[in-house]
Amino acid sequence: MGEMTDDDVMRLRLQQVASYRQVCTLVRAGAGHTLINAALIGGLTYFQYTRFGPHPFLLVNAAFALGELLVGLWKKARPTIDAVLVDGLVVGGFGLWVLGRQLLVWQAGGRVFPFSVVFGVWMLFDAVRTLRAYGDLRRLFPVRPSRAQLAWFDDLAAETRAADPREDDRALDLPTQPHWKGQLLGSTAFLVAARGEEVWVAGPGSLEIDRHPEDAGTGRRPAALRVNGVEYPEFPLDDASWDNYRTWAEANARAGRPAGEP
């Protein structure tokens, strides 16, 4: 196996950061579930307040509700896999707190509330599921991208979306479904969805664009895009993007990176 080049390292780093960004998107999507848990804990606390009046144990309930609310907002505003861990700990702690109180009531000969038992068990199951998900994510990302790397990636994505192929010979505008914007960086092709969080990182042989040879005078000819083996619907490709792609592909071919090489 040959040594990794600087372009290989950049592709690997871009792919790692892109994968982590996708995980962060999933964490953000799970914020709704966390906020629902916060509402349920808060609702239970309010019900117990109306039934039993002010009591010190309600302060603990309220603290758990507030904690889950803050975790939900954390997931929404700045998603990270650490938020998944904290979510599992908060929900698990509340489940143990509820079940522990019911156990003490039962030992004292008091009335056990079945709803509280079911609710506590459900919270524990939810916590176990969340903590397992966190463990899986930790195994996938033993070393996570730094904030500087995430900021660099976001800046590159914004720069790519704003680039105009007519003014930048590294830029691509590929209006297929979804609409992709791209930058050709050495032997690396970096594509981002014009809208959304989707990203492709590809090498010379993993990005293929074929354009119809005939021009109807519009400066745009039908073209087909294939990235990492995934094919996209035919779309009209402008001359500037085509010229940029051809120059990039030919330069990499001369450098000994033939089609089919990642």
Q: Which residue has the higher pLDDT, 215 or 242?
A: 242
The answer, yes or no, to whether residue 5 has pLDDT greater than 60, is no
Chain segment 34-91, per-residue pLDDT in tens = 999 999 999 988 888 888 778 788 899 999 999 999 999 999 999 999 999 999 999 9
pLDDT at 169: 93
pLDDT at 55: 77
Helical segments of the chain, H only: 6-29, 31-52, 56-77, 81-107, 114-140, 147-162, 239-254
Chain segment 160-211, per-residue pLDDT in tens = 999 999 999 999 999 999 999 999 998 899 999 998 888 999 988 889 999 8
Q: Just give the CATH number of 160-254.
A: 2.30.29
CB-based burial, 219-252: b 16+ in 10 Å, e otherwise: ebbebbbebeeeeeeebebbebbbebbeebbeeb
Q: How many residues does the chain have?
A: 262
Q: At what angle do helices 31-52 and 114-140 cross, to 10 degrees?
A: 160
Any idea where the domains of the chain sit in the sequence?
6-140, 160-254
pLDDT at 197: 84
Provide the 10 A C-beta neighbour count for residue 38. Answer: 22
pTM (2 decimals)? 0.77
pLDDT at 254: 79
Give the confidence band of 217 by pLDDT, cuts at 50, 70, 90. Answer: low
pLDDT at 260: 41
